[in-house]
Amino acid sequence: MTSPVSGSDGAAGAGGGSRAFERLAEPVRRWIWRKGWTELRDIQERAIAVLMDGEADAILSAATAGGKTEAAFLPLLSSVIDRPGAGGFDLVYVGPLRALINDQFARLEDLCAETGLKVHPWHGDIAAGVKAKARRNPSGVLLITPESLEALFVLRGREVPTLFASTRAIVVDELHALLDSPRGVHMRSLLTRVEIAVGRRIRRIGLSATLGDMGLARAYLRPEHPESVELIQSRAEGQELRVQLRGYRAGGPNRPVVEPEEARDRGEGTPAPADLAARRAIGEHLFSKLRGSRNLVFAGSRQNVELYADLLRQLCEDRALPNEFFPHHASLSRDHRSFVEERLKAGRLPTTAICTSTLELGIDIGDIACVGQIGAPWSVASLRQRLGRSGRRAGQPAVLRMYATEAALDSGSHVADRLRLGLARAIAMIELLVEGWCEPPRAEALHLSTLTHQVLSVVAERGGASARRLYATLCDRGPFRRVDPPLFLRLLRRLGDPEVALLEQAPDGTLLLGREGERLVEHYSFYAVFHTLEEYRVVAQGKPLGTLPVSDVLVAGMTIVFSGRRWRIVTIHDRDKVIDVEPDKGGRPPPFGGDGGLVHDEVVRRMREVLAGSDQPIYLDAHAADLLGEARREFFRLGLRDRSIVDVGSGVMLLATWSGTTGNGALALALLQQGFRVANFQGLVEVSSQGETGADLRGALSEIAGGQGLLLSGEDGTLISEKFHHYLDNELLLADAVSSRLDTSELPAMVAELLGE
């Protein structure tokens, strides 16, 4: 048979194409031929060269649907066909989504039909009988989620060495989405535990989108030898990017008539008419530009998804057109979500999904004409991932339409509104995106919640384990490398405390599951390491206001925005999950309050540059340009070009740190400890003295600059944000928070700079 990739038309591209193809096993080549592929992609060519030789770990990095899966499996399957294994799964694929596993199953089954190898999908939706069959007769390719692999360790720990006895590679999909998250650390711990169970190293292949710092990704894949991880990045040409950023003034020049029905329905928690006007204008623009093609619009929250989907559907109906705009988020039924996904994938009908991050990752949904983004997202990495869904066909530009809404101003407007921080962030992110920057993976945290989970899991797997063995498995060889022996011992003592009862110790020192530990491990909810958000009830003077998910550090004294109003937290009752608040005086509720995602230092630093600068970005429409002009005049008026501490009147001071969320949050907490009232914005901390005796702000800042800033006791707030945190004591919780969510290390230097020292 003639190789389809070595034809005389030169389709094989630059050098070696046919050589790579010829190296693949015969059934694999036949499959490629049958598929009618005219060439292998660049990343596939190079992956074949690397993966057919040697045993090196590798990261294959390319945009979504860049052919990464085939790049990994064509050579890996070839090597299994050439040298069959002696029993057990030959190859393992770990994927973070069930939908992804179903998708890969269909593709690999087709490929493996030619080869005689079996493919076993394994996740929560797969029938128990199918899994039992795979367990009794393991071979070929296993496709599994991290949670199902965890369940395998807990329930069938003794079968693990047999099941993976001849596994020659583990492929980890969507590596960029896991990294230093609890789930990523969990997955890495499982990889090590498989290796320990079979008593040898197993090759690791990571599939990833392009990251800001691929070096860190290598360290995540193989912490003990990052330098040995081969990096295979797609050389595909950077595609053309077309961007427009449109500005909207809530209640400004675009103000339409408020519809009577919407006005009637307006109550607590729904937007004010001014926001409604801007939303309607954005909706009409989306309608005019997106109708008739395939698009994704990221709306930022489930509520916004519903609002915009409803608006766009209405616009279709008004014009007697069939609807082509559909909402997509996690609270919608699976049926509805698959309907939208299938319709996008099939591509026969024009379709726009208005979505949350549900459609950021996952299965291939085909060629997208345009990506809409309402408001700036939290990270440039996420923006890049979303944009990766657009314009993938050769020669097609990627199109990004961003929409920023800013408040209408009056004499009482808050300085955060006047500085147009949302617009500034959108501009900062677009510029960083164009420059090719994106957030590096965050420095490794302690992950004490996930470590607690893995301690219980290893004890369950082996029916008991010594402290030494646990440390060797999880911290020496596993991913919890920042945990030193004294800290690990402190954690074990806490877990073994009779009141906690996760562990108990046999007379010979072996650690066994305690009463509570058994209860946890026996329930299926144990297998997932990530937290499903708990809601705290918010109560104002005995009257319930609603519920609030607590996902970040909340502390008594902080100002939050809730139910459209501004409150100060009086006390937090962790056990009863109640937050007592009282109304907070002064100003209007700021648009940026409370908690949210982590915005990186570099993004906030760039926001300052945008506000301090004078260039007019060409991708702004007239309204956005106007808004930017206003923001720059305000920046200048406040003297923020030269000053970092500004008196804005009424005893309120503005500290311009221009630091990201973790640094800004640490300063806010430190000042709170010194008796100030604090509100936290992007790059800014607003401070006022409370009580009659006005505390000395500069004096307090000098103390913080001297390193005496944080005396966190944990008594006055909640540091509980992850699934197993509530078993830990304050000391452990603080260590964990400081390692991940509160950047205290930079605090003295940051404050010294504020003071101009």
Partner DNA sequence: GACCTGCTGCGGGCTG
Tell me whether residue 411 or residue 532 sits nearer to DNA (CB atom): 532
Give the distance between the most distant pair of CA atoms in the chain: 90
Among residues 125, 484, 576, 757, the one that binds DNA under rule CB under 7 A: 125
User: Any contact of residue 530 with DNA (CB under 7 A)?
Assistant: yes
CB 655 within 8 A of CB 684: yes
- Min dist CB 408 to DNA, Å, is 16
DSSP 622-648: HHHHHHHHHHHHHHHHTTTTT-SEEEE
- Of 260, 254, 241, the C-alpha closest to 280 is 254
Q: Please identify, among the stretches 241-249, 313-321, 328-336, 346-354, the one whose residues bind DNA according to the rule CB under 7 A.
A: 328-336
DSSP 136-187: HS--SEEEE-HHHHHHHHHHHGGGHHHHTTT--EEEESSHHHHTTSHHHHHH
> What residue has token string 């309607």?
280
The interface mask with DNA, positions 60-99, x = CB under 7 A, is ------------------------------------xxxx
Among residues 2, 288, 525, 614, the one that binds DNA under rule CB under 7 A: 525
CB 556 within 8 A of CB 572: yes
Token pair belonging to 170: 């583990």
Tell me whether residue 481 or residue 531 sits nearer to DNA (CB atom): 531
- Min dist CB 753 to DNA, Å, is 23
The interface mask with DNA, positions 682-701, x = CB under 7 A, is x-------------------
User: Any contact of residue 338 with DNA (CB under 7 A)?
Assistant: no
Tell me whether residue 356 or residue 559 sits nearer to DNA (CB atom): 356
- Min dist CB 496 to DNA, Å, is 25
Tell me whether residue 663 or residue 709 sits nearer to DNA (CB atom): 663
User: Any contact of residue 124 with DNA (CB under 7 A)?
Assistant: yes
Token pair belonging to 579: 């937050």
- Min dist CB 639 to DNA, Å, is 23
Among residues 489, 524, 615, 749, the one that binds DNA under rule CB under 7 A: 524
Tell me whether residue 187 or residue 640 sits nearer to DNA (CB atom): 187
CB 217 within 8 A of CB 179: yes
What is the number of H-type helices and E-type strands within the chain? Answer: 28, 26
How far apart, in whole angstroms, are the C-alpha atoms of residue 76 and residue 306? 44
Other Cβ atoms closer than 10 A to 577? 15
Tell me whether residue 151 or residue 399 sits nearer to DNA (CB atom): 151
Tell me whether residue 98 or residue 118 sits nearer to DNA (CB atom): 98
User: How does 15-47 read in b/e, with b if 16+ C-beta sit within 10 Å?
Assistant: eebbebbebbbebbbebbeeeebebbbbbbbbb
DSSP 404-434: EEEPPP-TT--HHHHTTHHHHHHHHHHHHHH
Which alpha helices (DSSP H) does 8-53 contain, by range?
Answer: 17-23, 26-35, 42-51
Tell me the number of residues near DNA by CB under 7 A: 53
User: Any contact of residue 551 with DNA (CB under 7 A)?
Assistant: yes
- Give the DSSP letter of residue 359: G
- Min dist CB 209 to DNA, Å, is 15
Helix (H/G/I), strand (E/B), else coil: 604: helix
User: Any contact of residue 442 with DNA (CB under 7 A)?
Assistant: no
Tell me whether residue 56 or residue 561 sits nearer to DNA (CB atom): 561
DSSP 61-105: E-STTSSHHHHHHHHHHHHHHHS--SSS-SEEEE-S-HHHHHHHH
User: Any contact of residue 528 with DNA (CB under 7 A)?
Assistant: yes
Tell me whether residue 552 or residue 626 sits nearer to DNA (CB atom): 552
Helix 601-612 vs helix 421-434: crossing angle, to nearest 10: 110
User: Any contact of residue 151 with DNA (CB under 7 A)?
Assistant: yes
Among residues 203, 279, 285, 329, the one that binds DNA under rule CB under 7 A: 329
CA 440-446-450 angle, to 5 degrees, is: 105
Other Cβ atoms closer than 10 A to 554? 20
- Min dist CB 290 to DNA, Å, is 21
Tell me whether residue 17 or residue 683 sits nearer to DNA (CB atom): 683
Strands (E), 193-258: 203-208, 230-233, 241-249
User: Any contact of residue 128 with DNA (CB under 7 A)?
Assistant: yes
CA distances from 655 to 425, 646, 668, 686 (A): 18, 7, 10, 6
Among residues 331, 571, 616, 730, the one that binds DNA under rule CB under 7 A: 331
Token pair belonging to 181: 């998250």
Q: Which of residues 561-600 bind DNA (CB under 7 A)?
A: 561, 591-598
Q: Please identify, among the stretches 32-40, 204-212, 233-241, 352-360, the one whose residues bind DNA according to the rule CB under 7 A.
A: 352-360
Token pair belonging to 400: 């990004």
The interface mask with DNA, positions 296-315, x = CB under 7 A, is ----xxxx------------
Q: Please identify, among the stretches 119-127, 474-482, 617-625, 687-695, the one whose residues bind DNA according to the rule CB under 7 A.
A: 119-127
Counting other chains too, the contacts that 120-128 makes at CB distance below 8 Å and 24 or more residues apart are: 120/89, 122/148, 123/98, 123/147, 123/148, 124/98, 124/148, 125/98
Among residues 19, 30, 118, 183, the one that binds DNA under rule CB under 7 A: 183
User: Any contact of residue 48 with DNA (CB under 7 A)?
Assistant: no
Among residues 69, 148, 657, 662, the one that binds DNA under rule CB under 7 A: 148
CB 163 within 8 A of CB 89: yes
User: Any contact of residue 377 with DNA (CB under 7 A)?
Assistant: yes
Tell me whether residue 44 or residue 145 sits nearer to DNA (CB atom): 145
User: Any contact of residue 204 with DNA (CB under 7 A)?
Assistant: no
Q: Please identify, among the stretches 459-467, 474-482, 523-531, 698-706, the one whose residues bind DNA according to the rule CB under 7 A.
A: 523-531
> What residue has token string 């950021």?
360
User: Any contact of residue 527 with DNA (CB under 7 A)?
Assistant: yes
Which run of H or of E encompasses 687?
strand 684-689
- Min dist CB 155 to DNA, Å, is 4
User: Any contact of residue 678 with DNA (CB under 7 A)?
Assistant: no
- Min dist CB 44 to DNA, Å, is 27
CB 58 within 8 A of CB 231: yes
How far apart, in whole angstroms, are the C-alpha atoms of residue 269 and residue 264? 14
CB 97 within 8 A of CB 148: no
User: Any contact of residue 323 with DNA (CB under 7 A)?
Assistant: no
User: Any contact of residue 131 with DNA (CB under 7 A)?
Assistant: yes
User: Any contact of residue 660 with DNA (CB under 7 A)?
Assistant: no
Tell me whether residue 77 or residue 502 sits nearer to DNA (CB atom): 502
Tell me whether residue 123 or residue 279 sits nearer to DNA (CB atom): 123
User: Any contact of residue 408 with DNA (CB under 7 A)?
Assistant: no
Among residues 422, 441, 517, 660, the one that binds DNA under rule CB under 7 A: 422
How far apart, in whole angstroms, are the C-alpha atoms of residue 8 and residue 64? 30
- Min dist CB 208 to DNA, Å, is 16
In total, the chain counts a number of residues equal to: 757
User: Any contact of residue 659 with DNA (CB under 7 A)?
Assistant: no
User: Any contact of residue 145 with DNA (CB under 7 A)?
Assistant: yes
Among residues 248, 378, 471, 635, the one that binds DNA under rule CB under 7 A: 378
User: Any contact of residue 113 with DNA (CB under 7 A)?
Assistant: no
User: Any contact of residue 376 with DNA (CB under 7 A)?
Assistant: yes
- Min dist CB 509 to DNA, Å, is 30
- What is the separation of C-alpha 425 from the centre of its chain, rounded to a whole number of angstroms? 18
User: Within 13 Å, how many C-alpha atoms sit on residue 94's CB side?
Assistant: 25
Task: Name the site residues for DNA (rule: CB under 7 A).
Answer: 96-99, 123-125, 128, 131, 145, 147-148, 151, 155-156, 183, 300-303, 329-331, 356-358, 375-378, 421-422, 425, 524-528, 530-533, 551, 561, 591-598, 682
